[in-house]
Chain A
Amino acid sequence: MPSYAEIAAIRLGFGLSPRLTPPADPAGMAASVAAATRIGPQAVTLDKVRAWQDKGLDLGAAARAGDPAARDRDVAYRRRLGGIYRAAIQNRFARAVDDHSGFGERLVWFWADHFTVTGGTVYWNLMTDAFVQDAIRPHLTGRFADMMLAAEIHPAMVRYLDQDRSVGPNSARARRNPDKPLGLNENLAREMIELHSLGVGADYSQQDVTQLAELLTGLAYHPRQTGIFRPGQAEPGAETVLGARYGGGRASLDDIRGVIADLARHPATARHIARKMAVHFVADDPPQPLVDRLAAVFADTGGDLGAMNLALAEAPELRQQFRQKMRQPFDFLVAALRGLGVDGRQVRDMKPGQLQRLLLQPMTAMGQAWGSPLGPDGWPEDQAAWASPQGLAMRITWALSAPSRLTDPLPDARQLLRAALGDTASEALSWAVPRAESQAEGVALILASADFNRR
């Protein structure tokens, strides 16, 4: 029978590796999350992105003025920043490959997906990485309310959900510019309720969304202006969201802090987050007792995510519902790298072309283009979304061609079977692997198998 360490590393982490020893009990598993909260000195952060954007504004303006030398400098600058963003992606892969349990990095993925933001230009791509460092990592074992506040007011979110374009219709700024179409944009308000906190099935109205949108006016970002709140574009007066009144005095970020604190501790939020964690880590259709336990932990602890992590690590459903989940493409690729014995340093040393060919293009073809989910609801959880014929064809193609370009020599397929799946391998796979015509096909069978692609 598979050990706790095997089950936990596969279900809560990124799978087994011959190089790593996962924690042997739930307490160790939950404690291992701390490693993912650390932010290295090289990390992309808001302050750095702000400085890069500031310089970029000058270079861009000079380039647009028509000086060819300035244009070359601008292109070279953006190319250099593109390299920094690429290194940030490699770092995400590398940390996941090296994390001894993988649980913390999986939580980074989960929460970054819960609070989805996407980029676009190189500056805003870098901002999405800053978002992970600023808003997600520090709060993995802290309070949900703190993570939610950090996420909602982060420039990456403010821009992604158009909050930077939302102006109170009766604000000072709108009154100064009667000819400009300045007004509310309710995108962030809506997703804050529907996706980030209460859930779309909860009891709220269009009026709550509109009132929250009015309350959020004032949130903004510009690389050359300090702070993220502009009272001059905030809608005057108090707003009522879900029956509670906010603001009314001089508009300030405190009003927004207040409403986020209340949304974060709402009973519907406890149920929504509990279910979402159970769906992501346990089963597409999770057992209700698990969801109820997680919701109770959330409610009883005031949204303590460390307690949620421990409750997940302790859940007997991890074993009972084993392999009810499809690994998402990022999860699949990291698990394959770990199983093959690749280490983080090798990932960080990949040349741009290797990164594209071996990881990013395949990930896109499997249905998960890096940093580009289709909407603010993030990536789908449903196994059918990932085990489509074309998605599976892409995984098989990768399993046939990529490992020999990642490890030389290839591991013996029988050893890989042991290293990647331990005591969890099925009889059918154990039977088939020694019958492959070559080591490469034996390796491909393992990585393409349902055993490996499920967790």
Chain B
Amino acid sequence: MLSRRLFLKSTALIGCSAAAHPLLSSATFAAAPGDNRLVVIILRGAMDGLDAFQPYGDPALRGLRQTLSLGPDHGATDLDGFFALHRGLSELMPLWQAGQLAFAPAVSTPYRDKRSHFDGQTMLEAGTGTDLNLDAQQDGWLNRLLQAMPGQASETAYSVGVSQMRILQGQAPAKSWTPKAQMDLSPQAEQLLTRIYHDDPLFRDASAQAMEIVASLSPDLATGKPGQDHLEIARFAADRLNGQTRIASFSIGGWDTHAGQAGSLPRMLGRLADTILTLKADLGANWARTTVMAMTEFGRTVRENGSAGTDHGTGGTLLAAGGAVRGGRMMGDWPGLAEDDLYDGRDLMPLRDIRAYAAWAMHAKFGIDRATLEGSVFPGLDMGSDPRMTA
């Protein structure tokens, strides 16, 4: 059999994406990479983890926040006597009780100090450290995971939605789609289009994927209702994950709460909860084999700002959900909010690299060895001890 790694190397050299090559259809590489599913949700804009999972048991919290993170006395649900779940996430309580929801309250990428969303997101999706030029980082860690997975096909991984997902970009073929797209081409037009796109790799590959996906869509995935894009995306992702797809990634924007956070954050958290519950409902029995990780480029300031919001910070929260998650608990340690415990006197101190959680999940669910994870998927990462996020 043709060596996949060798093939990818050679096709990369001539600038031809493997996705469009007839030899690389899913029939050729039919062996599915196991039954486990991984969903990575990028929360763009930096979610305030201190509001989503409120450390109301920390004595310093009250002095830092006046209108936010007010704990169980103000509508949040107690989780463990120290943390409380924001009311926007309260629909996830049954998952917590079933041991299918967990969070790591003080994590971050290696990104520090400049606190730019865009660089923060680039680093989160690239999965690299601080030693590389951010502008040059065009590929993502889910793509490098694919390159390390034997027996995967282009259908194995999907990015879903209209926005660009750097996390899945790279040499390994992966698909991207939005449930809103449709095409109605005559066979003649399809042939002619294929011909005129032939010499332009970008158009050739994108159109080939588009035609293939349109031909394979389940009906009625689109709701067509305004404001429900996240549900369409979750349903489409679940539809694919119920088939050959094992990895899906998409983003939910709108977390940049500089002002009036108590007004906007509940809505965003509600969207996140609805997205997770839609995945659970549509995945059916496959939910038991699914790990969902919701990640954000960084956290927000521990102090509420002058506009009843929060500014860009450092330490933030990872949310994990799914039947494959060992949940009902906080993962990792809590740094504390006392003045001396803060990062730079203003931010939550990150205690662990967010990539370590993702790496351990890939190790457990896709059997990727530690050397590959620390060497190429997340170059330079020290995975440390196993947080045992998944069952």
Contacts and interface: CB of A to CB of B under 8 A. Distances in A.
A211 B114 CA distance: 14
Nearest to A428: B196
A181 B192 contact: no
Contacts of A387: 202-203, 206
Interface in B70-127: 113-119
Interface in B191-224: 192-193, 195-200, 202-203, 206-207, 209-210, 213-214
Contacts of B6: none
Nearest to B165: A388
Contacts of B66: 181
A166 interface: yes
Contact of A437 (B67, B176, B186): B186
B169 interface: yes
Interface string A369-385: 00000110100101111
Contacts of B258: 162, 165, 185, 187
Given A162-B258, A436-B188, A445-B193, A390 B177 contact: yes
Interface in B206-253: 206-207, 209-210, 213-214, 253
A201 B117 CA distance: 13
B249 to A, nearest CB: 14
Best-surrounded residue of A185, A388, A454 (most CB of chain B within 10 A): A388
A385 B196 contact: no
Interface string A349-374: 00000000000000001010000001
Given A167-B306, A375-B45, A388-B206, A393 B214 contact: yes
A250 interface: no
A184 B306 contact: yes
A444 B192 CA distance: 11
B306 A383 contact: no
Interface in B9-54: 44-45
A365 B195 CA distance: 25
Interface stretch (B274-282, B308-316, B382-390): B308-316
B306 A393 contact: no
A73 B185 CA distance: 48
A453 interface: yes
A392 interface: yes
Interface in A427-445: 428-429, 432, 435-437, 441, 444-445
A389 interface: yes
Contact of B210 (A165, A186, A389, A435): A389
B391 interface: no
Interface residues of A, number: 56
Interface of B is mostly: loop
A190 B115 contact: yes
A378 to B, nearest CB: 10
B118 A389 contact: no
Contacts of A436: 188-189, 192
Contacts of B308: 181
B181 A206 contact: no
Contact of B177 (A169, A389, A435): A389
Contact of B199 (A165, A201, A428, A453): A428
A194 interface: yes
A185 B115 contact: no
A205 B195 CA distance: 52
Interface string A403-441: 000000000000000000000001011001001110001
B116 A374 contact: no
A400 B189 CA distance: 10
A200 interface: yes
Interface in B295-345: 304-309, 311-312, 344
Interface in A182-213: 182-187, 190, 194, 200-201, 205-206
Nearest to B160: A390
A213 to B, nearest CB: 9
Given A181-B306, A389-B209, A393-B214, A437 B256 contact: no
Contacts of B206: 387-389, 391-392
Contacts of A396: 183, 185, 193, 207, 210
Nearest to B198: A428
Contacts of B183: 393, 396-397, 400
Best-surrounded residue of A185, A200, A205, A392 (most CB of chain B within 10 A): A392
Contacts of B193: 396, 445, 448
Contact of B192 (A383, A445, A453): A445
Contacts of B163: 367, 374
A449 interface: yes
B178 interface: yes
Contact of B113 (A169, A184, A206, A451): A206
Contact of B176 (A383, A389, A444): A389
B268 interface: no
23 contacts: A183-B305, A184-B306, A185-B305, A185-B307, A194-B116, A200-B114, A367-B163, A374-B44, A375-B44, A375-B117, A377-B118, A388-B164, A389-B206, A390-B162, A393-B207, A400-B185, A428-B198, A432-B195, A435-B188, A436-B189, A437-B186, A441-B186, A449-B196
Interface of B: 44-45, 66-67, 113-119, 134-135, 162-164, 169, 175-178, 180-186, 188-189, 192-193, 195-200, 202-203, 206-207, 209-210, 213-214, 253, 256, 258-259, 304-309, 311-312, 344
Interface of A: 162, 165-167, 169, 174, 181-187, 190, 194, 200-201, 205-206, 365, 367, 374-375, 377, 380, 382-385, 387-394, 396-397, 400, 426, 428-429, 432, 435-437, 441, 444-445, 448-451, 453-454
Nearest first, the 7 closest Cβ-Cβ pairs linking A and B are A183-B306, A165-B307, A389-B209, A389-B210, A393-B181, A450-B200, A393-B210
